[in-house]
């Protein structure tokens, strides 16, 4: 019996070279990337800046995309946009 690391050549099949795990071997990073600070005291900026205070309060939002489309399509597009990581809203 052949091992996974040997090349297999059977009629009508794809040749297998190496092991499955060897396809996904990547070097491990030596450090963890840290996000640089934009302001020296981020907590103070968050607590005192009017924009952050306003955005941190609980509020109702409205979806603004595709206003001319039927409600079912708008719901589907909103959900897809959320899954993709971006959508148009107004608070």
Residues 36-79 have pLDDT tens digits of 778 888 889 888 999 888 878 888 888 999 999 999 999 999 99
Structural domain spans, the chain: 60-91
Which residue is associated with the tokens 């959320």?
Answer: 82
pTM: 0.40
pLDDT at res. 18:
52
Place of tokens 């103070």: 44
CA–CA distances in Å: residue 25 to residues 15, 18, 29, 30: 20, 12, 12, 15
């Amino acid at each position: 019996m052949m091992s996974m690391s040997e090349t297999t050549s059977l009629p009508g099949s794809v040749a297998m070279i190496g092991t499955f795990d060897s396809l996904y071997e990547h070097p491990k990073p030596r450090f963890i990337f840290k996000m640089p600070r934009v302001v020296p005291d981020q907590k103070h900026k968050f607590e005192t800046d009017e924009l952050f205070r306003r955005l941190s309060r609980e509020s109702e939002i409205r979806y603004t995309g595709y206003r001319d489309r039927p409600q079912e399509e708008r719901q589907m597009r909103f959900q897809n946009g959320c899954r993709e990581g971006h959508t148009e809203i107004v608070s």
